[in-house]
Amino acid sequence: MPPYRFTAIDSMAGSIGQLGAREIHARLTSVEHGASLVTRGAKETKIYSDNVQAVVLVVKKDGFGSGVVISKDGTILTNWHVIEGASDVGVIFKPSSASGQPSKKDLRRAKVVRIDEVSDLALIRLTEKPPKNVKTIAFGSMSEIQVGSDVHAIGHPTGQTWTYTKGLVSQIRPGFEWATDSTRKHTADVIQTQTPINPGNSGGPLLSDSGTLVGINSFKSEGEALNFAVSISDVRRFMSTAKNRYASPTRPAMAAAASSECKAREIKQGTDKNGAMVSWWDTDCDGKIDTWFIQPKDPSKPFTAVFDSNGDGKGDILVMDTNRDGKWDISYYDIDFDGKIDLVGYHPDGEIVASRVEIYRG
Protein backbone atom coordinates (compact mmCIF):
# COMPACT_ATOMS: atom_id res chain seq x y z
CA MET A 1 0.00 0.00 0.00
CA PRO A 2 1.50 3.35 -0.99
CA PRO A 3 2.26 5.86 1.79
CA TYR A 4 0.05 8.60 0.31
CA ARG A 5 -3.66 9.31 0.52
CA PHE A 6 -5.77 10.04 -2.54
CA THR A 7 -7.17 13.38 -1.43
CA ALA A 8 -9.33 13.94 -4.49
CA ILE A 9 -10.58 10.37 -4.53
CA ASP A 10 -11.32 10.38 -0.80
CA SER A 11 -13.41 13.51 -1.25
CA MET A 12 -15.39 11.99 -4.09
CA ALA A 13 -15.85 8.72 -2.24
CA GLY A 14 -17.41 10.68 0.59
CA SER A 15 -19.96 12.09 -1.83
CA ILE A 16 -21.53 8.64 -2.12
CA GLY A 17 -22.91 8.97 1.38
CA GLN A 18 -24.77 5.76 2.17
CA LEU A 19 -25.55 4.89 -1.44
CA GLY A 20 -24.09 1.49 -2.27
CA ALA A 21 -23.44 0.10 -5.73
CA ARG A 22 -26.63 -1.94 -5.76
CA GLU A 23 -28.73 0.97 -4.55
CA ILE A 24 -27.30 3.27 -7.20
CA HIS A 25 -28.09 0.68 -9.83
CA ALA A 26 -31.62 0.38 -8.48
CA ARG A 27 -32.05 4.11 -9.02
CA LEU A 28 -31.54 3.82 -12.76
CA THR A 29 -34.43 4.25 -15.12
CA SER A 30 -34.68 2.42 -18.42
CA VAL A 31 -36.70 3.99 -21.22
CA GLU A 32 -35.49 1.59 -23.87
CA HIS A 33 -38.34 0.38 -26.03
CA GLY A 34 -38.87 -3.35 -25.90
CA ALA A 35 -42.38 -3.91 -27.16
CA SER A 36 -43.41 -7.52 -26.60
CA LEU A 37 -46.83 -8.19 -27.94
CA VAL A 38 -47.51 -11.78 -27.03
CA THR A 39 -50.43 -12.81 -29.15
CA ARG A 40 -52.44 -15.85 -28.21
CA GLY A 41 -55.46 -15.04 -30.34
CA ALA A 42 -57.54 -12.26 -31.84
CA LYS A 43 -59.14 -11.40 -28.49
CA GLU A 44 -55.78 -10.95 -26.77
CA THR A 45 -54.46 -8.87 -29.66
CA LYS A 46 -57.47 -6.57 -29.43
CA ILE A 47 -57.16 -6.17 -25.65
CA TYR A 48 -53.54 -5.12 -26.08
CA SER A 49 -54.13 -2.75 -29.01
CA ASP A 50 -57.20 -1.15 -27.39
CA ASN A 51 -55.41 -0.40 -24.13
CA VAL A 52 -51.67 -0.05 -24.72
CA GLN A 53 -51.85 3.70 -25.46
CA ALA A 54 -53.38 4.19 -22.00
CA VAL A 55 -50.38 2.59 -20.24
CA VAL A 56 -47.46 4.88 -19.44
CA LEU A 57 -43.94 4.52 -18.10
CA VAL A 58 -43.61 6.44 -14.81
CA VAL A 59 -40.05 7.58 -14.12
CA LYS A 60 -38.38 9.21 -11.14
CA LYS A 61 -34.76 9.51 -10.03
CA ASP A 62 -34.70 6.26 -8.11
CA GLY A 63 -36.82 3.94 -10.19
CA PHE A 64 -39.59 3.38 -12.66
CA GLY A 65 -42.94 1.67 -12.94
CA SER A 66 -46.18 1.66 -14.87
CA GLY A 67 -49.28 3.82 -14.79
CA VAL A 68 -52.84 3.80 -16.16
CA VAL A 69 -54.37 6.85 -17.84
CA ILE A 70 -57.91 7.15 -16.48
CA SER A 71 -59.03 10.54 -17.88
CA LYS A 72 -58.35 12.64 -20.95
CA ASP A 73 -56.88 15.48 -18.86
CA GLY A 74 -53.88 13.28 -18.07
CA THR A 75 -54.87 11.84 -14.70
CA ILE A 76 -52.93 8.64 -14.10
CA LEU A 77 -53.35 5.87 -11.54
CA THR A 78 -50.31 3.99 -10.25
CA ASN A 79 -48.86 2.42 -7.10
CA TRP A 80 -47.74 4.60 -4.21
CA HIS A 81 -44.43 2.74 -4.04
CA VAL A 82 -43.72 3.71 -7.68
CA ILE A 83 -43.80 7.44 -6.84
CA GLU A 84 -42.74 7.15 -3.19
CA GLY A 85 -40.82 10.22 -2.01
CA ALA A 86 -41.49 12.28 -5.15
CA SER A 87 -43.69 15.33 -5.66
CA ASP A 88 -43.35 15.22 -9.43
CA VAL A 89 -42.33 12.51 -11.88
CA GLY A 90 -41.72 11.93 -15.57
CA VAL A 91 -44.34 10.17 -17.68
CA ILE A 92 -43.46 8.56 -21.01
CA PHE A 93 -46.26 7.72 -23.42
CA LYS A 94 -45.92 4.89 -25.91
CA PRO A 95 -43.94 6.25 -28.86
CA SER A 96 -45.93 7.11 -31.95
CA SER A 97 -42.82 7.23 -34.15
CA ALA A 98 -42.17 4.54 -36.71
CA SER A 99 -38.92 3.60 -34.94
CA GLY A 100 -40.76 2.81 -31.74
CA GLN A 101 -38.09 4.65 -29.74
CA PRO A 102 -39.17 7.23 -27.14
CA SER A 103 -38.29 10.83 -27.96
CA LYS A 104 -38.64 14.13 -26.09
CA LYS A 105 -42.17 14.59 -27.41
CA ASP A 106 -43.19 11.36 -25.67
CA LEU A 107 -42.07 12.65 -22.25
CA ARG A 108 -44.38 14.69 -20.01
CA ARG A 109 -44.10 15.93 -16.44
CA ALA A 110 -46.70 15.05 -13.83
CA LYS A 111 -47.32 16.02 -10.23
CA VAL A 112 -48.43 13.75 -7.42
CA VAL A 113 -51.93 14.80 -6.38
CA ARG A 114 -53.03 12.11 -3.91
CA ILE A 115 -51.66 9.01 -2.22
CA ASP A 116 -52.91 6.07 -0.20
CA GLU A 117 -50.01 4.29 1.45
CA VAL A 118 -52.33 1.73 3.05
CA SER A 119 -53.64 0.33 -0.25
CA ASP A 120 -50.44 1.30 -2.12
CA LEU A 121 -52.18 3.56 -4.63
CA ALA A 122 -51.37 7.00 -5.99
CA LEU A 123 -52.85 9.52 -8.39
CA ILE A 124 -50.68 11.74 -10.56
CA ARG A 125 -51.68 14.39 -13.12
CA LEU A 126 -49.88 15.83 -16.11
CA THR A 127 -48.72 19.44 -15.77
CA GLU A 128 -48.75 19.86 -19.55
CA LYS A 129 -51.02 18.81 -22.39
CA PRO A 130 -51.33 15.07 -22.93
CA PRO A 131 -50.64 13.60 -26.38
CA LYS A 132 -53.36 14.02 -29.00
CA ASN A 133 -53.89 10.26 -29.21
CA VAL A 134 -54.16 9.73 -25.47
CA LYS A 135 -56.52 6.93 -24.50
CA THR A 136 -58.03 5.89 -21.19
CA ILE A 137 -59.00 2.60 -19.59
CA ALA A 138 -62.50 2.26 -18.17
CA PHE A 139 -63.08 0.95 -14.66
CA GLY A 140 -64.54 -2.52 -14.41
CA SER A 141 -66.04 -4.29 -11.42
CA MET A 142 -65.28 -7.29 -9.25
CA SER A 143 -68.29 -9.06 -10.77
CA GLU A 144 -66.30 -9.40 -14.02
CA ILE A 145 -63.81 -11.79 -12.48
CA GLN A 146 -63.81 -14.98 -10.47
CA VAL A 147 -61.33 -17.73 -9.73
CA GLY A 148 -60.29 -19.18 -13.08
CA SER A 149 -61.08 -16.05 -15.11
CA ASP A 150 -58.62 -14.87 -17.75
CA VAL A 151 -56.87 -11.59 -16.91
CA HIS A 152 -54.34 -9.53 -18.82
CA ALA A 153 -51.50 -7.16 -17.90
CA ILE A 154 -49.56 -4.46 -19.74
CA GLY A 155 -46.47 -2.89 -18.21
CA HIS A 156 -42.71 -2.50 -18.24
CA PRO A 157 -41.16 -5.54 -16.49
CA THR A 158 -37.46 -4.92 -15.78
CA GLY A 159 -37.51 -2.11 -18.34
CA GLN A 160 -38.99 -4.16 -21.19
CA THR A 161 -41.56 -1.56 -22.12
CA TRP A 162 -45.20 -2.08 -23.11
CA THR A 163 -45.09 -5.82 -22.53
CA TYR A 164 -48.29 -7.89 -22.61
CA THR A 165 -48.91 -10.99 -20.48
CA LYS A 166 -51.94 -13.16 -19.79
CA GLY A 167 -52.92 -15.46 -16.96
CA LEU A 168 -55.66 -16.70 -14.67
CA VAL A 169 -57.17 -15.46 -11.43
CA SER A 170 -55.91 -17.81 -8.72
CA GLN A 171 -57.87 -16.32 -5.82
CA ILE A 172 -59.47 -13.12 -4.52
CA ARG A 173 -58.16 -12.22 -1.07
CA PRO A 174 -60.05 -9.58 0.94
CA GLY A 175 -58.11 -7.61 3.56
CA PHE A 176 -54.76 -9.03 2.48
CA GLU A 177 -51.67 -7.65 4.26
CA TRP A 178 -48.19 -7.23 2.79
CA ALA A 179 -45.14 -4.96 3.04
CA THR A 180 -43.17 -3.21 0.30
CA ASP A 181 -39.41 -2.66 0.20
CA SER A 182 -40.04 0.65 1.97
CA THR A 183 -41.26 -1.50 4.90
CA ARG A 184 -44.67 0.13 4.90
CA LYS A 185 -47.48 -2.21 5.90
CA HIS A 186 -50.28 -2.36 3.32
CA THR A 187 -53.80 -3.73 3.48
CA ALA A 188 -56.25 -4.11 0.58
CA ASP A 189 -58.50 -6.49 -1.24
CA VAL A 190 -56.17 -8.12 -3.76
CA ILE A 191 -56.47 -10.36 -6.78
CA GLN A 192 -53.97 -13.21 -6.85
CA THR A 193 -53.11 -14.17 -10.42
CA GLN A 194 -50.85 -16.36 -12.49
CA THR A 195 -50.31 -13.40 -14.82
CA PRO A 196 -46.50 -13.00 -14.99
CA ILE A 197 -45.36 -9.66 -13.54
CA ASN A 198 -41.96 -8.34 -12.50
CA PRO A 199 -40.47 -5.09 -11.16
CA GLY A 200 -41.58 -2.41 -13.61
CA ASN A 201 -45.10 -3.86 -13.91
CA SER A 202 -46.03 -2.14 -10.65
CA GLY A 203 -48.75 0.44 -11.20
CA GLY A 204 -49.90 -1.08 -14.48
CA PRO A 205 -53.36 -2.39 -15.31
CA LEU A 206 -54.82 -5.80 -14.65
CA LEU A 207 -57.52 -6.12 -17.30
CA SER A 208 -60.59 -8.29 -17.51
CA ASP A 209 -61.50 -10.28 -20.60
CA SER A 210 -63.62 -7.33 -21.72
CA GLY A 211 -60.65 -4.97 -21.44
CA THR A 212 -61.75 -3.05 -18.35
CA LEU A 213 -59.56 -2.21 -15.36
CA VAL A 214 -60.06 -4.70 -12.53
CA GLY A 215 -56.84 -4.13 -10.61
CA ILE A 216 -53.47 -2.40 -10.33
CA ASN A 217 -50.56 -4.85 -10.53
CA SER A 218 -48.61 -4.26 -7.35
CA PHE A 219 -46.32 -7.01 -6.06
CA LYS A 220 -45.28 -10.64 -6.25
CA SER A 221 -44.34 -13.17 -3.59
CA GLU A 222 -41.60 -15.76 -3.51
CA GLY A 223 -42.54 -18.86 -5.43
CA GLU A 224 -43.99 -19.54 -8.85
CA ALA A 225 -46.95 -17.56 -10.22
CA LEU A 226 -47.73 -15.67 -7.00
CA ASN A 227 -48.64 -12.25 -8.36
CA PHE A 228 -50.99 -9.73 -6.81
CA ALA A 229 -53.01 -6.72 -7.92
CA VAL A 230 -54.86 -4.21 -5.74
CA SER A 231 -58.49 -4.77 -6.67
CA ILE A 232 -60.80 -2.36 -8.46
CA SER A 233 -62.90 -2.20 -5.29
CA ASP A 234 -59.99 -0.53 -3.47
CA VAL A 235 -59.26 1.63 -6.50
CA ARG A 236 -62.84 2.92 -6.40
CA ARG A 237 -62.56 3.61 -2.68
CA PHE A 238 -59.33 5.52 -3.29
CA MET A 239 -60.90 7.58 -6.08
CA SER A 240 -63.88 8.49 -3.91
CA THR A 241 -61.84 10.33 -1.28
CA ALA A 242 -59.93 13.60 -1.50
CA LYS A 243 -57.58 12.98 1.42
CA ASN A 244 -54.21 11.29 1.61
CA ARG A 245 -53.98 8.16 3.74
CA TYR A 246 -50.76 7.10 5.43
CA ALA A 247 -49.46 3.76 6.67
CA SER A 248 -47.25 3.19 9.69
CA PRO A 249 -43.78 1.66 9.26
CA THR A 250 -43.53 -2.00 10.19
CA ARG A 251 -41.57 -3.01 13.26
CA PRO A 252 -38.51 -4.13 11.26
CA ALA A 253 -38.33 -0.66 9.75
CA MET A 254 -38.39 1.03 13.13
CA ALA A 255 -35.79 -1.40 14.46
CA ALA A 256 -33.57 -0.75 11.46
CA ALA A 257 -33.80 2.97 12.01
CA ALA A 258 -32.69 2.53 15.60
CA SER A 259 -29.75 0.30 14.70
CA SER A 260 -26.43 1.46 13.31
CA GLU A 261 -26.41 1.73 9.52
CA CYS A 262 -23.89 0.28 7.13
CA LYS A 263 -21.09 2.70 6.25
CA ALA A 264 -18.96 2.52 3.12
CA ARG A 265 -15.44 1.24 3.92
CA GLU A 266 -12.23 1.54 1.94
CA ILE A 267 -10.66 -1.91 1.43
CA LYS A 268 -7.38 -0.95 -0.21
CA GLN A 269 -5.64 1.58 -2.42
CA GLY A 270 -2.88 1.41 -4.98
CA THR A 271 -2.09 2.02 -8.64
CA ASP A 272 -3.23 0.25 -11.79
CA LYS A 273 -1.08 -0.80 -14.74
CA ASN A 274 -1.39 2.68 -16.25
CA GLY A 275 -0.15 4.36 -13.11
CA ALA A 276 -3.54 5.73 -12.12
CA MET A 277 -4.30 5.90 -8.40
CA VAL A 278 -7.14 3.61 -7.40
CA SER A 279 -9.16 3.30 -4.20
CA TRP A 280 -11.33 0.17 -3.74
CA TRP A 281 -14.43 0.24 -1.50
CA ASP A 282 -17.07 -2.01 0.03
CA THR A 283 -20.24 0.10 0.11
CA ASP A 284 -22.80 -2.48 1.26
CA CYS A 285 -20.82 -4.05 4.11
CA ASP A 286 -20.69 -7.56 2.64
CA GLY A 287 -16.88 -7.68 2.73
CA LYS A 288 -16.53 -7.56 -1.06
CA ILE A 289 -15.25 -4.74 -3.27
CA ASP A 290 -18.12 -3.25 -5.25
CA THR A 291 -16.86 0.28 -5.98
CA TRP A 292 -13.57 1.76 -7.06
CA PHE A 293 -12.36 5.28 -7.75
CA ILE A 294 -9.75 5.99 -10.42
CA GLN A 295 -7.57 9.11 -10.57
CA PRO A 296 -5.46 9.07 -13.77
CA LYS A 297 -1.96 10.58 -13.74
CA ASP A 298 -2.88 12.68 -16.77
CA PRO A 299 -4.70 15.76 -15.35
CA SER A 300 -6.71 16.10 -18.57
CA LYS A 301 -8.44 12.76 -17.96
CA PRO A 302 -11.54 12.49 -15.74
CA PHE A 303 -11.89 11.12 -12.25
CA THR A 304 -14.02 7.98 -12.56
CA ALA A 305 -16.14 5.99 -10.12
CA VAL A 306 -16.87 2.42 -11.16
CA PHE A 307 -19.67 0.37 -9.58
CA ASP A 308 -20.29 -3.38 -9.64
CA SER A 309 -23.99 -3.52 -8.84
CA ASN A 310 -24.64 -7.23 -9.40
CA GLY A 311 -21.60 -8.61 -7.60
CA ASP A 312 -19.96 -10.28 -10.60
CA GLY A 313 -16.66 -8.45 -10.12
CA LYS A 314 -17.13 -6.34 -13.23
CA GLY A 315 -18.04 -2.66 -13.39
CA ASP A 316 -21.46 -1.93 -14.88
CA ILE A 317 -21.81 1.76 -13.92
CA LEU A 318 -19.21 4.44 -14.70
CA VAL A 319 -19.65 7.95 -13.31
CA MET A 320 -17.20 10.67 -14.36
CA ASP A 321 -16.02 14.04 -13.11
CA THR A 322 -14.72 15.24 -16.47
CA ASN A 323 -13.08 18.48 -15.29
CA ARG A 324 -12.00 17.29 -11.83
CA ASP A 325 -13.96 19.91 -9.93
CA GLY A 326 -15.39 17.45 -7.39
CA LYS A 327 -18.79 17.26 -9.11
CA TRP A 328 -20.09 14.38 -11.19
CA ASP A 329 -20.88 15.21 -14.81
CA ILE A 330 -21.82 12.15 -16.86
CA SER A 331 -22.44 8.44 -16.36
CA TYR A 332 -22.80 5.27 -18.41
CA TYR A 333 -24.83 2.18 -17.52
CA ASP A 334 -24.85 -1.45 -18.58
CA ILE A 335 -28.22 -2.45 -17.19
CA ASP A 336 -28.32 -5.98 -18.62
CA PHE A 337 -24.69 -6.79 -17.71
CA ASP A 338 -23.67 -7.76 -21.26
CA GLY A 339 -20.62 -5.49 -21.35
CA LYS A 340 -22.31 -2.89 -23.56
CA ILE A 341 -23.51 0.58 -22.59
CA ASP A 342 -27.31 0.90 -22.51
CA LEU A 343 -27.94 4.28 -20.91
CA VAL A 344 -26.20 7.61 -20.48
CA GLY A 345 -26.90 9.82 -17.46
CA TYR A 346 -26.46 13.58 -16.92
CA HIS A 347 -25.63 15.22 -13.57
CA PRO A 348 -26.28 19.00 -13.74
CA ASP A 349 -26.49 19.07 -9.93
CA GLY A 350 -23.15 17.26 -9.53
CA GLU A 351 -24.74 14.45 -7.48
CA ILE A 352 -23.74 10.80 -7.82
CA VAL A 353 -27.21 9.78 -9.07
CA ALA A 354 -28.09 11.13 -12.52
CA SER A 355 -30.89 13.70 -12.79
CA ARG A 356 -31.68 12.61 -16.34
CA VAL A 357 -31.11 9.29 -18.08
CA GLU A 358 -31.42 8.61 -21.80
CA ILE A 359 -30.89 5.70 -24.13
CA TYR A 360 -27.26 5.54 -25.21
CA ARG A 361 -26.97 5.84 -28.97
CA GLY A 362 -23.26 5.17 -29.27
Kindly list the domain boundaries of the chain, sorted by start residue.
7-20+264-359, 29-251
Catalytic residue, chosen from 106, 116, 120, 321, is 120
Question: Is the per-residue pLDDT at 293 higher than 80?
Answer: yes
Please indicate whether residue 120 is annotated as part of the active site.
yes
The pLDDT of residue 253 is 42
Question: Is the per-residue pLDDT at 31 higher than 80?
Answer: no
Residue 157 contacts by C-beta under 8 Å, 6 or more apart in sequence? 163, 196, 197, 198, 199, 200, 201
Residue 250 contacts by C-beta under 8 Å, 6 or more apart in sequence? 179, 183, 184, 185
Across the range 60-76, mean pLDDT stands at 91
pTM, full prediction: 0.60
Catalytic residue, chosen from 81, 152, 156, 186, is 81
CATH of domain 29-251: 2.40.10.120
The pLDDT of residue 99 is 58
Across the range 283-291, mean pLDDT stands at 82
Higher pLDDT, 12 or 356: 356
The pLDDT of residue 20 is 55
Across the range 136-157, mean pLDDT stands at 94
Please indicate whether residue 149 is annotated as part of the active site.
no
Lowest mean pLDDT among 121-130, 175-184, 258-267: 258-267
- Report which of 179, 172, 177, 215 is spatially closest to residue 197, judged by C-alpha positions: 215
Rounded CA separation 80/99 (Å): 32
Over residues 220-235, the pLDDT tens digits come to 987 777 899 999 999 9
Give the β-pairing of 185-193 and 163-179: antiparallel
Rounded CA separation 118/3 (Å): 55
Rounded CA separation 359/36 (Å): 18
Over residues 70-93, the pLDDT tens digits come to 999 899 999 999 999 899 999 999
Please indicate whether residue 156 is annotated as part of the active site.
no
Average pLDDT, rounded, for the chain: 82
Catalytic residue, chosen from 170, 202, 208, 231, is 202
Distances (CA, A) of 46 to 149, 152, 232, 235: 18, 11, 22, 24
Question: Is the per-residue pLDDT at 337 higher than 70?
Answer: no
